[in-house]
Amino acid sequence: MDAADELIGLSAVAVVERLRSGETTPHDLLDALEARIGSVDRHVNALPTLCFDRARARADALAKKPLGERGLLAGMPVPIKDLTNVAGVRTTFGSPIFADFVPDASDVLVERLEAAGAVVYAKSNTPEFGAGANTFNEVFGSTLNPYRTSHSAAGSSGGAAVALATGMAWLAHGSDMGGSLRNPASFCGIVGMRPTPGRVAQSRALCVDNTLSVQGPMARTVEDLALLLDAMAGEDRRDPLSKPCPLQSFLAAARSGWKPARVAYSPDLGITPVDREVAAITRRAASLLADAGVRVEEVHPDLAEAHECFQVLRAQAFAVSYAQHLGINRDKLKPEIVWNVEKGLRLTTADIVRAEHQRAAMLARSVKFFETYDLLLCPATIVTPFPVGERYCKSCNGVTFETYIDWLAIAYATTLVCSPALSLPCGFTEDGLPVGLQVVAAPNDEASVLAGARLLEAMLGLRTVRPIEPRAEPIPAAAGAAPAG
């Protein structure tokens, strides 16, 4: 094994320790990544936009500072999802409308990461405007699942998840509305976490009070993810929803050794069908806690209104964000976005009032639930990776979904109640596809999610720190088009 391969196989925490000691330089990491991307990405299409010249200039600037003044990440390379602006780097949002857009300024989040010593070297692929939970677009094409390249990597942070799984990143940025950090983590065998709204500051160009969409971290291990969350988190006056950093670091919380006393497990949260094999694998993972003396009960909070509530609030958010494009660029938008925006524009005030009341009621019931249970465990996704040519999951266990987002309910239910939620690799199907366990806690309790997930990670022993080589298969012809609804 040469030095570059050795670096690629290390955890992010170990790499940052080397950076802080001076044993490894940011240039060493960039060279290793460039070689790895050159050999791997043509098989999976995870990082379509590279900016190594910008990254090396940033590495040079960091090298002029003493080792102790290079920030928390100390020169660690990080790819940014292609929904988030990076100054001077092509940022397409996965849309032909912005195929050649190069922003002058970076998002608040990118500024924070760079201030913490991150080095941006790539943009990760995403579906158009992040919609659909399957990473394909007309600008760059499809991102493929490295466990079976004929299958979906999910989305919308699919490029980031695949980059991590294949060793083209140690840490990665993503974002999440209805599971976009958690679904690809589950499909690709890595860790992805949706933090509490406001935990990570972001630019708010079109809507100030949106708490459905958040920015968050992805990594191959829980400790690595906690390290990146420490670099991301914090207050910024440009984001009035942003929160101060907690007194204890997230990495320290992950390492705390805390063990829950009482945990809930649910295969379906009472609101969705679930693949039988997914349910069995996640239930088996949850039962490990019982073996460790934790009380595990099969129960869930009442989230009955989640479908109606999320459909309305998501449609409202899409109308606010993308209605401007319907008049002049309708032909360049994929049909799912057109449908979602038009649904939002048809909403009445009464529809929105009802949805907000439903959300408040579910939040109150969930907060009460977490007075009894330290954590809630359930599948991160209800199915295993499906063929990449299928635009979205249309059915599960004999239930046919009405719209292109219904299959995401087990993730968007936790979005609605503002809970931090993490997808943890918890096993594999009989044919070798990964399954993720969703670990959920009360709002603002990322510490319990991280500590509980690290405990389970150690029990499961899946060794996700080691990247995989893509397992190539022919890709079937693309399936067609418009969603129902």
Helix (H, G, I), strand (E, B) or coil at 367: helix
* 81 has catalytic annotation: yes
Structure tokens at 92: 């397409």
Report residue 251 as tokens: 């990495």
Q: What is the dihedral of CA 141, 318, 193, 462, to 10 degrees?
A: -40
Cα torsion 159, 73, 195, 209: sign:
negative
Q: At what angle do helices 26-44 and 52-63 cross, to 10 degrees?
A: 160
> Tokens 């705390």 label which residue?
256
Mean pLDDT of 415-436: 98
Phi, then psi, of 48 in degrees rounded to 5: -75, -20
Tokens at residue 53, please? Answer: 């010249």
What is the reported pLDDT for 4?
Answer: 87
Q: What is the pLDDT of residue 327?
A: 86
pLDDT at residue 476, rounded to an integer: 59
Active-site residue among 106, 124, 152, 156?
156
Q: 435 and 281 in contact (C-beta within 8 Å)?
A: yes
Q: Is the pLDDT of residue 287 over 70?
A: yes
Q: Report the pLDDT value the prediction gives residue 479, as an integer from 0 to 100.
A: 35
Can you give the pLDDT at residue 197?
Answer: 98
Q: Cα separation of 344 and 313, whole Å?
A: 8
* Residue 433 scores a pLDDT above 80: yes
Q: Is the pLDDT of residue 480 over 80?
A: no
The 10 Å Cβ neighbour count of residue 26 is: 26
Q: Does the annotation mark 152 as catalytic?
A: no
- Residue 160, SS3 per DSSP: helix
Could you give the CA distance from residue 32 to residue 5 in angstroms, rounded to a whole number?
Answer: 7
Q: Which domains does the chain have, with CATH numbers?
A: 3-305+353-460 (3.90.1300.10)
- pLDDT tens figures, 62-81: 999 999 999 999 999 999 99
Say whether pLDDT at 478 is over 60.
Answer: no
Token pair 């940011």 is found at 26
Q: Give the β-pairing of 191-194 and 214-219.
A: antiparallel
- In this prediction, residues 351-363 reach a mean pLDDT of 98
Residue 6 DSSP SS3:
helix
Picking from 134, 201, 75, the residue whose alpha carbon sits closest to that of residue 405 is 134
Burial 258-285 (b: 16+ CB within 10 A, else e): eebeebbbbbbbebbbbbebbbebbbeb
Catalytic position from the list 11, 81, 152, 423: 81
Under DSSP, the state recorded for 370 is: T
Residues sharing a CB contact under 8 Å with residue 173, sequence separation 6 or more, in sequence order:
78, 79, 80, 81, 84, 109, 113, 124, 160, 215, 216, 217, 218, 228, 232
Q: How confident is the model at residue 475 (pLDDT cuts 50, 70, 90)?
A: low
Does residue 378 have a pLDDT over 50? yes
For 403, counting Cβ atoms within 10 Å of its Cβ (0-12 exposed, 13-18 middle, 19+ buried), the class is: middle
Strand order in the sheet with 119-124: 49-50, 119-124, 77-81
Phi, psi of 164 (to 5 degrees): -65, -50
Supply angle C-alpha 226, 229, 234, rounded to 5: 140
Share of the chain above pLDDT 90, in %: 95
Rounded to an integer, what is the distance from CA 102 to the centroid of its chain?
24
3-state class (DSSP) for residue 355: helix
User: Is it the case that residue 396 has pLDDT exceeding 70?
Assistant: yes
156: annotated active-site residue: yes
Helices 222-232 and 12-21 cross at an angle (nearest 10°) of 60
Kindly tell me the number of DSSP H helices and DSSP E strands found in the chain.
15, 15
Any idea what DSSP says for residue 406? G
Report the sign of the C-alpha dihedral through residues 276, 279, 285, 291, in that order: negative
Chain Cα centroid distance, residue 266: 21
From the candidates 106, 157, 175, 180, which is the catalytic residue?
180
Q: Which two tokens stand for residue 293?
A: 């003396």
Residue 19 has pLDDT above 90, yes or no: yes
What are the φ and ψ backbone dihedral angles of 141, each rounded to 5 degrees?
85, -160
Burial 444-458 (b: 16+ CB within 10 A, else e): bbbbbbbbbbbbbbe
Report yes or no: 178 and 310 within 8 Å, Cβ to Cβ: yes
Q: What mean pLDDT, rounded, does the chain reach?
A: 96
pLDDT value at residue 164: 98
pLDDT digits (tens, 9 = 90+) for 128-177: 999 999 999 999 999 999 999 999 999 999 999 999 999 999 999 999 99
Write down the pLDDT at residue 177: 98
Q: Whose CA is closest to 30, among 63, 67, 77?
A: 77
Instruction: Note the pLDDT of residue 1.
Output: 64
